[in-house]
């Protein structure tokens, strides 16, 4: 059982429910939401899920952790355009790390 922080709450999640594929999935979901112009509350909720997936994934190499943290902070501060750039950088870094 793993405890993850999502927004202001903490959730218990079985380890089987947190596969390695969750992080890229949450990254893509936030990127799509930003591109679709979702409202800021939904974007912040998606940023919280991305942060939880990042914590659950554990060790991530390369520049991906910094890019992900930057994107999350930018979303929370209402800066969608730079957040998209940071997410694209994180996606490239994750792809390079996983290959």
Q: Model pTM greater than 0.85? A: no
For residue 36, pLDDT beyond 70: yes
In Å, how far from its chain's centre is CA 52? 7
- The domain containing residue 21 runs over which residues? 2-98
Q: How many CB atoms lie within 10 A of CB 19?
A: 11
Mean pLDDT computed over every residue of the chain: 86
Using a 10 angstrom Cβ sphere, with 0-12 exposed, 13-18 middle and 19 or more buried, the burial of residue 90 is buried
Q: How many domains does the chain have?
A: 1
| Domain at 28, CATH number | 1.20.120
The per-residue pLDDT for 89 is: 97
Q: What is the pLDDT of residues 48-94, one digit of tens each?
A: 999 999 999 988 888 999 999 999 999 999 999 999 999 999 999 99
- Distance CA(53)–CA(60), nearest Å, equals 11
């Amino acid at each position: 059982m793993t405890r993850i922080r999502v927004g202001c709450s903490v959730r218990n999640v079985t380890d089987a429910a947190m596969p390695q594929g969750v992080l890229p999935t949450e990254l893509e979901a936030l990127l799509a939401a930003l591109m679709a112009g979702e409202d800021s509350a939904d974007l912040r909720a998606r940023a919280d899920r991305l942060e939880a997936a990042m914590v659950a994934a554990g060790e991530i190499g390369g520049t991906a952790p910094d890019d992900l943290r930057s994107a999350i902070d930018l979303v929370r501060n209402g800066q969608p355009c730079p957040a998209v750039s940071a997410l694209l950088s994180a996606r490239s870094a994750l792809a390079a790390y996983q290959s």
